[in-house]
Amino acid sequence: MERSQLLRQVAHQRQTLFDEGLLDEQFVQLEELQDRTNPNFVEEIVTTYYQDTSRLILNIEQELERRPLDYGRLDGYMYQFKGSSTSFGAKKVKAECSLFREYCRAGNGEGCMRTFQQLNREYATLKRKLEAYFQLARQARLTETASRPG
Amino acid sequence: MGAEVDHVSPMGMSGGSAEVNDKSEGLRFSCKNKLTALVVDNGGVCRVIQTALLRSYGVETEAVETGEAAVELIASGATFNLIIIEMLLPVLNGPETARQIRAMGAQSKILGITAFFDERDQQEFLAAGADEFIEKPLSLEIVIPIIRELDN
């Protein structure tokens, strides 16, 4: 693929992440922290975010199988999830975290489970689209390297 | 609406360790003094991001996962201009961490930080000795005025 076309595709894919409400301004601040001394900062943050949150998802899943539900524990896990998602800029995931917590505080188990399912969907969508974006961005960087005079 | 795209790959800031990039005003200014900070957060991604943000503004920053580790660090003689403490830490929570740090005579600016703002948490943190209490994320709008204040 011609490089300029590739660059346009990368830019378009990035913009889509914001236009679809998956990411917010906080993610832009993370991108601005990336520089020559830390060229993989954003991807490293993404990896850390998914490490943190996948553990929390497992914990929440296990808690949602217990009866009666321990709303205190669920609340605690979702607090951490929201903190990580807010700091990362995961806009839709963050919104589901807030909704889940409201159901938790109301002692509404069904609401918690429904919201958790939606959260999982948003989380998976974000992960998939970020992976695709970074893969394309890496491809673009490779073509930049290849096109430099030797 | 969404962030405007003005580049393909994320391009970050460059600059010396004492330089501060005031993006909100489009100006650069240099810290007159060496500033230090401690981030206390059990969330990995939060800890890394807060640390990177402060370091990008020339603040020498350390990070620990627990309140106990923060208290130990201060007790060992470490001093910091700024300490950012997460509200819900395991075992020794944010306010108790702040209380113990203040009890040791630390005069650092203490910023309590939380994933969900709650007035009772705010009152508890401020009563324990924190100077401010904010909801995550730690953003430029919050960091820049704090750095300016500490630098003056």
The predicted model gives A62-83 an average pLDDT of: 96
Nearest by CB: B8 against A86, A98, A140: A140
CA atoms within 13 A on the CB side of A2: 3
Strands (E), chain B: 19-22, 27-30, 36-40, 60-64, 82-86, 109-114, 132-135
The predicted model gives B100-129 an average pLDDT of: 97
| Paired residues of B85 in beta bridges | B40, B112
**Percentage of residues in chain B having pLDDT higher than 70:** 80
User: pLDDT tens, A27-56?
Assistant: 999 999 998 778 889 999 999 999 999 999
Average pLDDT of chain B to the nearest whole number: 84
The predicted model gives B33-52 an average pLDDT of: 95
pTM summary value: 0.87
Please answer yes or no on whether B45 and A87 come within 8 Å at the CB atom: yes
For residue A67, the model assigns a pLDDT of: 93
Nearest by CB: A83 against B5, B12, B136: B136
The predicted model gives A6-27 an average pLDDT of: 95
Q: How far apart are the first and last CA of chain A?
A: 21
The predicted model gives B91-113 an average pLDDT of: 97
* pLDDT at residue B14 tops 80: no
B29 or A123, higher pLDDT = A123
pLDDT grade for A144, boundaries at 50, 70 and 90: confident
* pLDDT at residue B17 tops 70: no
* pLDDT at residue A110 tops 60: yes
pLDDT grade for B93, boundaries at 50, 70 and 90: very high
For residue B25, the model assigns a pLDDT of: 41
* pLDDT at residue B29 tops 60: no
For residue A143, the model assigns a pLDDT of: 81
For residue A4, the model assigns a pLDDT of: 87
Specify the residue for token string 């709303």: A71
For residue A150, the model assigns a pLDDT of: 58
Write out the residues of chain A at the interface with chain B, using a CB-CB cutoff of 8 A: 7, 10-11, 14-15, 18-19, 23, 25-36, 38, 41-42, 44-45, 48-49, 51-52, 76, 79-80, 82-84, 86-89, 98, 101, 137, 140-141
pLDDT grade for B8, boundaries at 50, 70 and 90: very low
The predicted model gives A50-70 an average pLDDT of: 96
ipTM tops the 0.85 cut: yes
| Paired residues of B29 in beta bridges | B20
B1-35: burial string, b at 16+ Cβ within 10 Å, e else: ebbeeeebbbebeeeeeeebbeeeeeeeeebeeeb
User: pLDDT tens, B19-28?
Assistant: 444 444 434 4
